Amino acid sequence: MTEVRTRFAPSPTGYLHIGGARTALFSWLYARHTNGKFILRIEDTDAQRSTEEATSQILESMEWLGLNWDEGPFYQSKRLDIYRSYVQKLLDAGKAYWCECTPDDLEKKREIALSEKRKPKYDGTCRHKGHGPGPGRVVRLAVPFTGVTAFDDMIKGRIAVNNDELDDLIILRSDGMPTYNFTVVIDDATMNITHVIRGDDHVNNTPRQIIIYEALGFELPQFAHVPMILGPDKTKLSKRHGATSAMVYKEMGYLPEALVNYLVRLSWSHGDQEIFSLQELIEFFDVHDVGSSAAVFNTEKLLWLNQYYIKKAREEGRLEELSALLKPIIQERGYVSPGANLINSIITDVGDRAKTLVDIVDIGDFYFKENIEIPEDLGKKFFTPEIAPYLAAIIDELGKADFSDKAQMENAFNHVLEDNHIKFKIIAQPVRIALTGKTMSPGIFEMMETLGKDKVISRLKAVLK
């Protein structure tokens, strides 16, 4: 059996869109499922729009998602001589020709075609004139006038186009740059790509590319066009629906395994299973099982998955891993990043309530602050004159306790409760607010252990004043 070779070929004109990330994931998974190869290619022939920053961001996104490539990255900008050599082969074989029609000429032809209710396509004026290269001239492929170009899409099924619907497409522009449809064919053919898995916005390009394959005598790959991802309003996913960049999800505190698990489930399923390990995805994924209908992006479901993976990481003891991911978020919030042990304790304390890593920092912000500001309404409600002697007693008892022993902290509170004949709830909320500035927090004794004796007593003394 021929080795399966898939590819992902983004244009570095912007960030890696979430739709592109899913296409890359499907290509990667199919290569891994079949023990094949996954090739990364950067389509950067649009010199005006392509940037090094976008290229770096795409590579960083791929690495963050764990989509390692076997070959590449290859850059189209470094392969121009290869493309031009194949243009010359077509010219020499009489399968392509130089065209001198100007943009004004083409516009007039278009207007005439529309007025005559014909399809506005190039009419082949220069096809038999025998022009050579010259200023302003382009190279066009001589597309067959008759017949049908068809292919069996692995997702969409049989697709066929009458050749008289197509025109003699440009394969080399007047500035000497090859066009997208041409470079893609040359790259996929010379890199021995066996399966072209890409977004279904490329379906209309495929018949044109097949004609280029056939003109050059290349073997056709199999094509699989992945359906679009829609927003909740069933329109194309865009910024108005929320984040569309893969790396923004990293900044928002999502784990890569959560995003991978979520993206793969958009248009693909394996029974009723929702959560997959990476090994399960590699074992189960087959591009033939991808549905042809557009998928709707559901942020709530992604959040649910992310919370699951945060919890799973905590249960598996992968606190160091989470700690490393949290550090840049802590610093972005303007806090001094504490030591790894303290971050691990914070993850343990607040992780149950967090849906994202950012939530851990926001919920547990009181751990990173030097001083706590008490909201005025909470101060008036909970720090009454009657509470002052209890707080003073708590401070005194805690001063004798060893904070590495939770039982000693609990005993400190119990002494105050017994001596003053009060219940825990009388003092619990004022202490919680004094330490956090909030009415909700982790368990008081767990939180105090993480904060440490100095901070706890300092904050209690601050509200006592």
Structure tokens at 327: 């550090």
Strand partners, 151: 159
**39-48 burial: b if 16+ Cβ within 10 Å, else e:** bbbbbbbeee
Work out whether strand 222-226 and strand 195-199 pair parallel, antiparallel, or are unpaired: parallel
Instruction: Work out the angle between the directed axes of helices 256-264 and 52-65 (0-180°, nearest 10).
Output: 90
Instruction: Report the 3 state secondary structure along 57-72.
Output: HHHHHHHHHCCCCCEE
Max Cα–Cα distance, the chain, nearest Å = 107
CA distance 87 to 95: 10
Whether 259 and 247 have beta carbons less than 8 Å apart is answered as no
Whether 433 and 424 have beta carbons less than 8 Å apart is answered as no
Whether 375 and 364 have beta carbons less than 8 Å apart is answered as no
Amino acid identity of 10? Answer: P
- Answer whether the bond into residue 135 is a cis peptide, omega within 30°: no
Structure tokens at 366: 């009181």
Q: Give me the torsion for CA of 333, 337, 340, 345, rounded to 10°.
A: -60
Strand partners, 39: 7, 71
Structure tokens at 194: 């066996």
- Catalytic residue among 78, 119, 239, 311, which? 239
Q: Give me the torsion for CA of 187, 190, 194, 199, rounded to 10°.
A: 0
Q: Is position 239 annotated as part of the catalytic site?
A: yes
Strand partners, 99: 138
CA distance 44 to 39: 16
At a CB cut-off of 8 Å and minimum separation 6, what does 425 contact? none
Classify residue 398 by its DSSP letter.
Answer: H
Q: Give the H/E segment covering residue 7.
A: strand 5-8
Kindly list the catalytic residues.
239
